[in-house]
Structures are given as structure tokens and as C-alpha cells.
Amino acid sequence: MIKYEKLGIFLSKPIALLFVLVYLFQSAFIIYLVQDKFELQRQIDFQQKRISELEEKLRILQVIEDFQIGFTDDEKKELVEVISSECNKYDYDPMFLVALILTESSFRRNQVSEKGARGLMQIRPLTGQSLAEKIGIDWEGDRTLHHPELNIRMGSLHLFEMILKFKDVRKALISYNLGETALRDRMRLNQPLPKSYLNKVMKNYEMLKERYKT
């Protein structure tokens, strides 16, 4: 017999062992329930994230469908994927990047400006070649800028570099349009910065957020 004087009870060894086994079983079961709860919550969080990502991609696709000119259905899907990927990479609001593309090219395929800027994000060949080297894209001359996916990758990086250099999104946008050297010259001479392009991008951004809000 095992004597538990403080508790005022006496237990035989088999009964004491039984109590220990029950305690261990209950502890293991509680641990299992807790782990199962955490795993279930993890799965719920994962699925919720996937739903949010799909909803975001549907919004991007809707914008492209409404504004694009000259793209096939497969190309539209590729645009959605690259826009989503670049926004995750640089922490852009997708509607912000889409607003920039809309401002630059109106989502027209093979758009070329009077100054020679090309593609969806209107990148000049010299700038494009430098960006392509940084990303690891094989540069094949001007035609590289007419590849929609590559153009967006280069344009997204270019904007990000301007943000890092100027520490200001608005100045980065002005630099994207005006050119880094031209903007620095204006700042050095304390000249007023042009706002028409910036205002157009922000107007498109607000329009897209309102029109395609969840």
C-alpha cells in the first residue's frame, strides 16, 4: 500500500499507476487539442490570405479588361501575375502601379512616345538597358521594352530606385516622368517642380481605388 498522509488516503500501487496513466492521457489529449487548434488557425489564415490574393488579382484583371487595347486573354493573365508579383516585391498598392501604367500608356500595346519611350511603362531604351542588366534580363534592343512582362518588371524597379534616391514617392513619380538629372537640376536651382504628371497619376489612382474598391 502507498500511504498519502497529507491527503488522508491510501492507494494501492495499481490504482496509483492508473491515476498516473489517466493524468498522462489527459495531458497528451489537451496538448493534441491545442496543437490541432493552432494548425486549424494556421490553415484558416493561409486560406484567408489566398482569398485576399485572388480578390486582388481579380481587381487587377478587371482594370486591365476595362482599359487594355491589343492584348490577348493569355497576355492579360500574364499582366495580372507580373503586376501582382512586382507589387509584392516592392510593397506597392496594386492600384497605384496600375495607375502609373494607365497614365503612361493607357494600357495600349506597343505604345511609343514622341521621345522614344516604349511599352506599358514608357521606358527609354538607354534606361531600359541599364535596368535589364540589374534584373538579369537579356537585352535584345528596343524590342525588349515591347515585352509587356519585362517592361513592367523594369518600370517597377525604376520607380523603386527613384523612391530610394529621393525618399519621397511624389518626387519619385516626377523623376520617373521628367528624369532624375532634370529633377535634381530643378531642385538645385530651387525651381518649382512640375505637378501635372504627378496630379494625373494620383487622379488615376484615386479613380481606380474608388471604382474597383472591394
Q: For the domain that residue 93 is a member of, what is the CATH number?
A: 1.10.530.10
Tell me whether residue 23 is in a domain: no
Contact 110, 119 (CB under 8 A): yes
* Mean local confidence (pLDDT), 2-17: 54
Does the reported pTM lie above 0.85?
A: no
Domain count within the chain? 1
Tell me whether residue 17 is in a domain: no
Give the SS3 label for residue 108.
strand
With b for 16 or more beta-carbon neighbours within 10 A and e for fewer, the 50-82 pattern comes to: eeeeeebbebbbebbeebbeebeeeebebbbeb
Tell me whether residue 81 is in a domain: yes
> What are the two backbone dihedrals, phi and then psi, of residue 8, each rounded to the nearest 5 degrees?
75, 30
User: pLDDT confidence of 105, banded at 50, 70, 90?
Assistant: very high
Contact 35, 185 (CB under 8 A): no
Tell me whether residue 177 is in a domain: yes
Tell me whether residue 2 is in a domain: no
CA distance 174 to 111: 20
User: pLDDT confidence of 130, banded at 50, 70, 90?
Assistant: very high
| Domain hosting residue 153, numbered range | 54-211
* Mean local confidence (pLDDT), 138-156: 96
Q: Which of 3-7, 15-19, 35-39, 84-88 has the highest mean pLDDT?
A: 84-88
For the chain, what is the mean pLDDT?
Answer: 88
* pLDDT value of position 154: 98
Tell me whether residue 136 is in a domain: yes
Tell me whether residue 62 is in a domain: yes
Largest Cα–Cα distance in the chain? 100
Tell me whether residue 195 is in a domain: yes
Closest CA to 101 of 60, 142, 57: 60
pLDDT tops 90 at residue 7: no
